[in-house]
Every structure is written in structure tokens, then in C-alpha cells.
Amino acid sequence: MAGLVTTFGSGAMTNSIEEIDNAGTIMVIGANVTVAHPVISHRIRRAAQNGATLIVINPKEIDLVRAADHFIQPASGSDTVLLMGMARYIVDNDLHDKEFIAEYTEDFEDFRKSLELFTPEFVEKIAGVPWDQIARVAHIYATGKPSSIYYAMGIAQHSHGTDNVMAIANLAMLTGSVGKLSTGVNPLRGQNNVQGACDLGGLPNVYPGSQMVNDVVIQEKFEKAWGGELSGELGLTHTEIFDEILSGTIKSLYLVGENPVLTEANSKHARKALEEIDFLVSQDIFLSESGKYADVILPAATFAEKDGTFTNTERRVQRVRQVIPPRGDSKPDWWITSQIAQAMGKNGFEYQDSSEIMDEINSVTPIYAGITYQRIEKTGLQWPCLDENDPGTKFLHKDGFARGKGRFVPLEFTASTETTDEKFPLILTTDRSLYHFHSGTMTRRVGGLEKLDGEEFVKINPIDAKEFGIEDGNWVEVSSQRGTVKVRAKLTDICRPGMCSMTFHFFESPTNEITNPTLDPVAKTPETKVTAVNIIKCK
Amino acid sequence: MAEHFKLTIDGQTVVAEEGMTILDAALASNIYIPHLCNHPDLTPVGACRMCGVEVDGGRMVMSCMTPAKANIDVVTDSPDIEKSRKVTMKLMIMDHNMDCLACEAAEKCDLLRVASYLGIQPDQLENMRPLGRDLPLDTSNPFFQFDANKCILCGICVRTCEEIVGLSALGYINRGFKTVVGTFGNKGFVDSVCESCGECVVRCPVGALVPKKPGIATREVRTICAYCGVGCGMYVGVKGDQIVSVRGDRESPVNLGSLCVKGRYGFNYINHPDRLTSPLIKKDGEFVKASWDEALALIASKFKESKGNKFAALTSAKCTNEDNYLVQKFTRLVMETNTIDHCARL
Ligand code: SF4
Ligand code: SF4
């Protein structure tokens, strides 16, 4: 989400889910909402029925296309080019919002110059989409206001994912489509509490509330609040952690509810790191593929067995309540962490219940300062919520951007790191299933869901299948530079020719063993959406 | 604020709001008018012909389709109205499998409710049913089933899928007497575009669309779905210490009562025998049960040796805010490093 921080000053969804109802134009790019955010997709389809123009841009013909007015199917990895092409059309046809640009943004001229590269011919060639299609949706986006954009991992999981996000932000600023009702830029967060994990400082560079760890004033504030010395040095990210385990620097890993052996791109690397680490603690509700490497396993309670809050994709902090007692001797995660701290003799972890933790969060996290259990008893509040009288924030950047002025970022064309060649002639992209969640540890233990979708398939266009001599249901080997997985093939024209797709829910066919781990240099997101592969039929 | 006005229903003065139908106005004032195809979430269609009323002594109108107006005089029951309702009811029952004792809908059944309003006794029902239909059950979906023999063609499921879910997986098949509700091409639910959300099932007024494992909860707790970032509000139903049902929270601005298949039906993992129920310590390559005190003591001694750049934590986007806050506080304050991250990028 670094791209939005650079341009707007905040990385979260600008608008609320309910604002979908009143949008004039809804553009969904790189997001398979019907499977990853089902109830939002209901709302988008409803809005489309009630008169909003729905534009879907995706290299796959996802289910939402059935409800769309316009569908563009660009080549994987060409999003920045396509979005810059749209911007170019808007500027060339004088459809940009000059007043908004002058009042609320900066660096427009640099950005305008960077559009020169993106001629109709160039955009058509890279994106593989006729220019008039691109021009048509650009026209609708610029004129059919209020316009809002929804995107997800299809935009972010690229080595140039930050560019993609900034291209979206540029487009929104260009047309003045941000900071108003039903108008904005909306990254849809995948897992239930990704937003909250980020907000509460589950990141190597920030304390709760996006307060930088290398800012001395902030550091002192937390040292005082917590009563101890803190490091002002940035920590390591996800992928760097595995590198440092393998290099021998990191000796202990505390793994809370994560399963990197299935979810990490190029997961062999993660698996090797977990094999080699000196001391691994895995705290989870099930023994996961990663947990098998642990030295100590701690049984955690599920969401139904504990109290707390989740923050949803629209920044709404909502109350999670204990429904049943924890199974066996399992315990809420907060309790476990506080016990480890106390066992190490540290003060400041003597919480009686989760509400005491929220009180502390209120006192050190300005954007959460006014969000108390009492106030969210009935309905959740959306941050920023600065004090007990603040009603919360329905949409962001209402009177100017969080960073002051919105910043246009000139962009160039960057190709994906993996392109097809003779050895690996197809592009593999990852996706999700409606019936499963993440590494499947929960959903694959629900009989009915497993019945609806119990096996991985590599989805491949019939034209390619014919060329590779593959029939529907055949067992095939999908290989990349990094390895091979065995899976059955499903022939479907939802994939463009030249492209195939797999999910990562199934441990029997661990897709991430072969995905492309090249990181976006800023956001550190791996390029799992573009991996060059070969497919051969098993003998 | 919508404008309020007065009208008379069965001699009683009631207050209604601009935009209400006569049926809405009556129900809002606790006056029952029999109806089967009306649902507060959906566009009225006047299909079941049960809610007829007389306005200002004139001819009968369908109250679900007629806007309430100031000062009108509505009569909800008269010999003519009753006669018309009974004729309609007989036709409906003729087409309905009336094995009420074995039916899931039981006391929730709107058809029984209307029948009893009309003074039709259960034992009379059987006589009114000369034509039995024998249409196959659709049990293809693992979470719910559809029995066309009990369907009264109210169209609530069809409109739900169209208007709430925006999908239109269901429609009417065949014509006239042979009309049934079904998926495109009348394939089973699983072979259609149906997304198994169950929205149609919760709204079915009879026993045609029912959950396969209906859970009867003794209490309900309001909470938030833990699957995806939408964060739908839900009520979780419990019997003993087991979760038996989930329904959408209509007051939630996020989902307005809707849920998807994972949120509504995906809770059985909580009781799965694979759940970890005790701390485990690996000894000679095998996990051995341990007490919390043993596990915590071992972790404390190992973690003490790996402070600073020797330590890393991966926290979870599935856990609560409070859980995450503590993992980062622990990492920063106790382990003296900022090396904490999670899976947001995936
Ligand atoms: S379960 Fe949901 S998607 Fe399927 S038919 Fe019913 S309302 Fe439509
Ligand atoms: S019910 Fe479905 S859409 Fe709603 S939060 Fe749960 S998984 Fe997401």
C-alpha cells in the first residue's frame, strides 16, 4: 500500500462500503471480488443493476464480468501501461479536472510529460487491448462521476506493484475523483484483519497508527508509555526475515497464526528457513505445514472463543465477541503473548482482558484514540477517530490530502521480471476460490466447503491446452525455474491464451513452491501474479 | 425525514410514512394482513393474491402493491375477500406437499400461518390435495436443499438472488401449471452460477429451501465474521458449547444482513478434532504434550538468548487488533527489535 502513502499520504481504502450504492462509475481492476470479497461484490452488482456503470479490468474473465457494462482483458502485468493510457486519453481530450489539480495536487507537469511515452500504439502493443476499448472506459471514468476504483492483489502482487497503485492514484487525482462521497481509491484488504494488523504496528517500520519507528519524538513517546528502551532502527520485512534465518543471524522466530510454507512466494525458501532455524514457536489453531518445523506449539483460540476487535477493509473497527469457551487448553493470542512477556520477567503485560489492551491502544494511537469498546458496542467506528466525540471518518481526504497535497508521480514502463520463453512459454497467475481461505487451514476442515471445491486445478485456455496436448482433467506438471507442482488441468476460456491460473489453498499442490518471489522494491510484495511456467502432461 | 400521515385500517386510525404500501402500514401497526410473497427487503410483485383489501368501499386491491395514502379507509377482511383468499389458498395447497410434521419449516411456515388465519385446519389440508406432485429433490448443494414439491412460487428466492445478491441464479422454468423455480437449465444448484450464499434459503417462507443441518440455537452472540476483509456483522447461534448457526446482522452498515457461503456455513472447523488443545514441545523429533508453565518457561529461556537482531516475529492478519498490538509491543519492548511483519502482502 506504499503507493497510496506516497501519493495521498494514507494507504487505506478512501471510501466506505455503503458508498458503493451511490457510485456513478465503478471500476474494478485486479480484484476478483466475487470470490475474495463476496458481500462487497453483491453490493457492486446491485449498484450496477441500479444504474452505475461497472467496468471490470482483469486478465481473467472473472465472474463479475457477467454483471459488467465494460470488460477489458489486458495481458498480465500491463496494468500501469493501461492506466497511463487511460490518463493520456483523458488529458488529450481535455477531460481532466484542472481546478482540482491546481488546488489539491502537485507535480502535475512532470506527470503530464511522462504520458508522452504512452501512445495509443504503445499501449495497444503492451496491453494487448484495442485502443478504442481503453479510450471508452477512460471517457466513462472521467465523465460518469461519482467514480470510484476498487483494486486488490492483482494490482499489488507485481515487482512493480507500487507503480500500479500510483498509476491508479494518478488517474483519480487527474479527474478529481477522490475526497468525495462515493468517489475514491479503494484497496480491498484480503484477510479479515490485514488492516488492523497494519494499523496496530505489525510492520517493521511503524508503531501503531503508522508512527515511524525511526522518528525520535515518536520513539520517546513509546519509551515513556511502555517504560523501556526501544530501537530506532527499521526492522526486517517478511522475505528478509527468511534470508536472515538462512544466513544464520536470526535464531528465534515467533510465528503467530501464519503458514509461510504455503503462502510465501517461492515457499521452498521459507520451508528451508524454518527447517534450519534454531528455535521456532508456532502459535496457531491447527498444526500447520509450517508448525511441523516448530520446537514449541502453542494452541490458540479461534475468533469465536475470544474478545477483541477487527478492523475491516473500510477502516471500521468492530467488536469481536466470545461465543463459546476455548477448546481444550487453547488460549486467546493476546493472553499467550502477555504470558511469554511475564515469563521473561517484563512488566507492562498484566492485562486482565482485551478491553484493557484497547485502552492502551487508545492512549498511544492517535487514529484509534476515540475508539473504545463502549462506543463500538452496537456499530463499529471508522478511523481516523481522534477523540471520544469524533464520529469517525466515512471517507478520507475530504478537505485536502493527508500528506498536504496529492502528489502526481511520473511513471515509466517496467516489464514484469519474468517473461515467457521457449522453456517457460506460459504465464501463471495466482487466484483464490470462493470456498476457501488463504492456506485452507480453516475452510478445508469444513466438509461442505471441501465438497464444493476440494481439489486444485490449473486453469488453462483450450487453445493452449490443444497446443500442449492436454485434455480436461488430465494430470499435468506445472514447472517454473523454481520447481514443479502436480495438479489436474481444467480447460476454460476465462484465461486468455498464453495465461494459466492456480489458487494457493491446497497443500497437496503447493502453488507457491513455483511462484515468482521478485519483490516490489518499495512495498516488498512478491510478483506472484506473473510467473513464467511450462505445463506438461504426466505420463 | 419521511412525511407521516394518518389512515384508517379496520376502523383503527394508524400512522404511516411516505413510501409505505398499505401492507407495510398495517404490519407496522401490528395489523396482520395475510401475505406470502411480500418481503421487506424486496420489490413487491403481488404474486400470491393473498393480501387483497378493500379501499374506501371500492374494489379489492393488492395491499403489497398499493401505496398507503392519507385519510383512506382500508378494510382487510370481508366475505368477498375471504372467499377470494380461500380459493387462492386451495389452489396453492393442491400443489403443495403438506407433510407438515416432517417439514423443516415447521412453525416458521408462512403457508400454515395463512391457512390457520383462514380457519383451514391441518386435517382439512390433506383433503384439499387431490393432485400430488412428485418432483425430484435437489440436494446437490452441501449446505441446503430444494424441494420443488413444497414451493409455492412466491418468487422470494428468485427476487433475493436478483435484488440482494445481484446474481439471478434462479428463475421460473416452464409455464402455467407446470411452472417451477429452478436454476438456469434446471441443473442442480452446484452446477449453476449459484454462489451458495444461502440468502434465498433464509428468506424462503415455507419448507422448500432449507438448510441441510438446521441448527436450533439456545442463545446468540453478535460478532464479526473472521474470514475476509469485508467484516460482515453476524449473530452466532450456540447450543451447549457448540456453534450451531450463523445469521447476518441486519443492523450492520457493512453487510445489511447479507453473508457469503464462508461466513454463513464455514464454522465447523472450530470443533474439528485437529484443533490444537494443549501446548506441545518437540522432544527427539516428536511433539509431546506439555503444560503451559513448561512451554512458557522453555520459550522464555530461549527468547532471552535471542534478543535484538537474533529475533523475528510474524504476526497474523487473522488475529484481533489487541493480539497484534501485544505481539508488536512484545517484539519491540521485550525483544528489543523492530523485526516484526505479517502476511499483508499476500
Ligand atoms: S444461495 Fe445465494 S447465489 Fe445461490 S441461488 Fe440462493 S441467493 Fe442465489
Ligand atoms: S461473510 Fe463472506 S463477505 Fe462477509 S466477511 Fe465473511 S467471508 Fe467476507
Tell me, what's the pLDDT at B290? Answer: 94
Residues of B whose CB is below 8 A from A37: 228-230
**Can you tell me the mean pLDDT for B295-324?**
94
Q: What is the CA radius of gyration of chain B?
A: 28
**Which pLDDT band, with edges at 50, 70 and 90, does B96 fall under?**
confident
Considering every ligand atom, which ligand is closest to the CA of B143? 1
Considering every ligand atom, which ligand is closest to the CA of B267? 2
3-state secondary structure labels for all residues of B196-241: CCCHHHHHCCCCCEEECCCCCCCEEEEEECCCECCCCEEEEEEECC
Cβ of residue B127 closer than 8 Å to a chain A Cβ: no
B260 C-alpha vs ligand 1 centroid, how far in Å? 9
Distance from CA of B273 to the nearest CA of A (A): 10
Pairing of strands B180-183, B233-239: unpaired
Interface of B with A in 221-240 (CB under 8 A): 221-233, 236, 238
Task: Determine whether the interchain pair A344/B306 forms a contact, defined as Cβ–Cβ distance below 8 Å.
Answer: no
User: Measured in whole angstroms, how far is the alpha carbon of residue A415 from the centre of its chain?
Assistant: 21
What CATH homologous superfamily does A2-188 map to? Answer: Dimethylsulfoxide Reductase, domain 2 (3.40.228.10)
Please measure the distance between the N-terminal and C-terminal CA atoms of chain B and give it in whole angstroms: 45
**Can you tell me the mean pLDDT for B295-303?**
95
3-state secondary structure labels for all residues of B80-148: HHHHHHHHHHHHHHHCCCCCHHHCCCHHHCHHHHHHHHCCCCHHHHHHCCCCCCCCCEECCCCCEEEEH
Cα distance between residue B272 and residue B263, in whole Å: 17
Cα distance between residue A445 and residue A435, in whole Å: 11
Cβ proximity of A406 and A14 under 8 Å: no
Quickly name the fold that domain A194-382 has.
Rossmann fold (3.40.50)
B30-52 tens-digit pLDDT: 999 999 999 999 999 988 889 99
Architecture of domain A426-537 in CATH? Beta Barrel (2.40)
Cα distance between residue A422 and residue A359, in whole Å: 59
Cβ proximity of B160 and B200 under 8 Å: yes
In this structure, the residues whose C-beta lies within 6 A of any atom of ligand 1 are: B 160-161, 165, 167, 169-170, 194-200
Residue nearest to atom 4 of ligand 2 (CA): B232
Tell me, what's the pLDDT at A494? Answer: 84
Task: Determine whether the interchain pair A449/B320 forms a contact, defined as Cβ–Cβ distance below 8 Å.
Answer: no
Nearest to B82 by CA among B121, B124, B44, B114: B114
Residues of A whose CB is below 8 A from B304: 344
Task: Determine whether the interchain pair B223/A354 forms a contact, defined as Cβ–Cβ distance below 8 Å.
Answer: no
B141 C-alpha vs ligand 1 centroid, how far in Å? 11
Tell me, what's the pLDDT at B185? Answer: 81
A482-523 tens-digit pLDDT: 888 888 888 988 888 888 888 877 777 777 777 777 776 666
Residue nearest to atom 6 of ligand 2 (CA): B263
Q: Where are the domains of chain A?
A: 2-188, 194-382, 426-537
Interface of A with B in 353-412 (CB under 8 A): 354, 357-358, 360-361, 378-380
Residues of B whose CB is below 8 A from A281: 299
Ligand 1 probe mutation, B143, B162, B167, B262, most atoms within 8 A of CB = B167
ipTM for the predicted complex = 0.88
Residue nearest to atom 4 of ligand 1 (CA): B194
Cβ proximity of A494 and A58 under 8 Å: no
In order of A21, A70, A376, A408, the CA distances from A80 in angstroms are: 28, 19, 40, 14
For B15, the enclosing helix (H) or strand (E) is strand B12-17
Cβ of residue B94 closer than 8 Å to a chain A Cβ: no
Considering every ligand atom, which ligand is closest to the CA of B231? 2
Residues of A whose CB is below 8 A from B323: 256, 308, 332-334, 337
B198 C-alpha vs ligand 1 centroid, how far in Å? 6
B25 C-alpha vs ligand 1 centroid, how far in Å? 30
Distance from CA of A121 to the nearest CA of B (A): 33
Considering every ligand atom, which ligand is closest to the CA of A35? 2
Cβ of residue A116 closer than 8 Å to a chain B Cβ: no
Q: How many CB pairs under 8 A join A and B?
A: 474
Cβ of residue A157 closer than 8 Å to a chain B Cβ: yes
B318 C-alpha vs ligand 2 centroid, how far in Å? 13
Task: Determine whether the interchain pair A235/B337 forms a contact, defined as Cβ–Cβ distance below 8 Å.
Answer: yes
Per-residue pLDDT of chain A (539 residues; tens, 9 = 90+): 566 777 776 778 888 888 899 999 999 998 888 888 999 999 999 999 999 999 999 988 888 999 999 999 998 888 888 999 999 999 999 999 989 898 888 888 998 998 989 899 999 998 889 999 999 999 999 898 899 999 887 777 766 778 888 889 899 999 988 887 788 888 888 788 988 988 999 999 999 998 999 999 999 999 999 999 999 999 998 888 999 999 999 999 999 988 887 777 777 888 899 999 999 999 999 998 889 999 999 999 999 999 999 999 999 999 999 999 999 999 999 999 999 999 999 989 999 999 999 999 999 999 999 999 999 999 989 999 998 998 888 887 777 777 778 888 888 777 767 778 888 888 888 878 777 777 777 788 887 888 888 888 889 899 988 998 999 888 888 888 888 888 888 898 888 888 888 887 777 777 777 777 777 666 667 767 778 888 888 87
A508 C-alpha vs ligand 1 centroid, how far in Å? 30
Does residue B128 have a pLDDT over 60? Answer: no
B223 C-alpha vs ligand 2 centroid, how far in Å? 12
Ligand 2 within 6 A of CB of B259: yes
Residues of A whose CB is below 8 A from B312: 235-236, 241, 244-245, 250, 252-254
Bigger pLDDT: B176 or A259? A259
Query: Which sign, positive or negative, has the C-alpha torsion A70, A73, A77, A80?
Result: negative
Task: Determine whether the interchain pair B228/A213 forms a contact, defined as Cβ–Cβ distance below 8 Å.
Answer: no
Cβ of residue B329 closer than 8 Å to a chain A Cβ: yes
- Report chain B's mean pLDDT, rounded to a whole number: 89
Residues of B whose CB is below 8 A from A36: 228
A266-283 tens-digit pLDDT: 778 888 999 999 999 999
Task: Give the pTM.
Answer: 0.89
Domains with residue ranges and CATH for chain B: 4-125 (3.10.20.740), 216-275 (2.20.25.90), 276-305 (no CATH), 306-346 (no CATH)
**Which pLDDT band, with edges at 50, 70 and 90, does B346 fall under?**
very low
Could you give the residue ranges of the DSSP H alpha helices within A8-64? Answer: 33-36, 38-49
Cβ of residue A91 closer than 8 Å to a chain B Cβ: no
User: DSSP state, A496?
Assistant: P
Cα distance between residue B225 and residue B266, in whole Å: 10
Cβ proximity of B235 and B218 under 8 Å: no
Distance from CA of A240 to the nearest CA of B (A): 10
Task: Determine whether the interchain pair B277/A328 forms a contact, defined as Cβ–Cβ distance below 8 Å.
Answer: yes
**Can you tell me the mean pLDDT for B165-193?**
86
Cβ of residue B281 closer than 8 Å to a chain A Cβ: yes
Tell me, what's the pLDDT at B24? Answer: 94
